[in-house]
Structure 1
Amino acid sequence: MRASFLLTDQTLPGTGNMELIPGSHRSSIPLPASVRRGESEPAISHIICAPAGSVLVFHNAVWHRTYVHDGNYDRYTMHYIYSPPWIKPSDRLQNNQDFLLRTTPLRRALMGEFERPDAPYGFNYDAPPFPTDNI
């Protein structure tokens, strides 16, 4: 899942809005190469118009991109991507070792630093050291 926090007003089209194709993550037909390269506009896409402070939550595999931004100001969006802990991080090759040495076991586990087999979908591994006393 992806959560995109809009930090800049995007209530009108052309302000760097999110453009997506709903349901595209389940399609058995690939997008045309011209759409993937940004050379043509998909007729079935939706332009999301929302005010600053809005949060867009969607499956990360949904086809999405930044729509046209005609303004003379920067547009800011903050993204959080939630995935199972057995998914390899895609934003870095490894975690900062100094950080790992000074943080808690829970935070290390949240950063993906725990032993797990290479089994598909993360089966058959010991649970990360998450506290259970507050559950």
Structure 2
Amino acid sequence: MTDAPKPESAEPAHDPEVLELAQKVFDLARHGDTDTLAAYVTAGVPVNLTNDKGDSLLMLAAYHGHPETVRALLAHGADPNRTNDRGQSPIAGAVFKGEEEVVRVLVEAGADPRAGTPSAVETARMFEKRHLLDLFGER
């Protein structure tokens, strides 16, 4: 008999194996492993799963500049306007990081550039990204 870690409770979210799987899925989003991440979502991982900071899989893929992963998550029903615990949206994160292809994918999917704090519009103004302001209809 092994001394495996005991879950803090009977809730699945406290099971070490579930936590390990969740960490793996967040890493897939961060690193843009589109096919593997899509397979997990197809198999039942919630597409709007969030980490302890409220960052969704879409937020992580957008922030780290993976347009194909962003497209795949959106195709599986990810919410393009879901903000994290700090009120940041995926599109604002992509603007901040200069991930313009991701910004365009999110706009095409209906992401609101005015959502969140700071919004993508505010972020584009801050960094003087006039072409993105044009994309957002803000000039």
TM-score (norm 1): 0.27
User: More strand by proportion, 1 or 2?
Assistant: 1
User: More helix by proportion, 1 or 2?
Assistant: 2
> Larger radius of gyration, structure 1 or 2?
1
Higher relative contact order (CA 8 A, sep 6+): 1
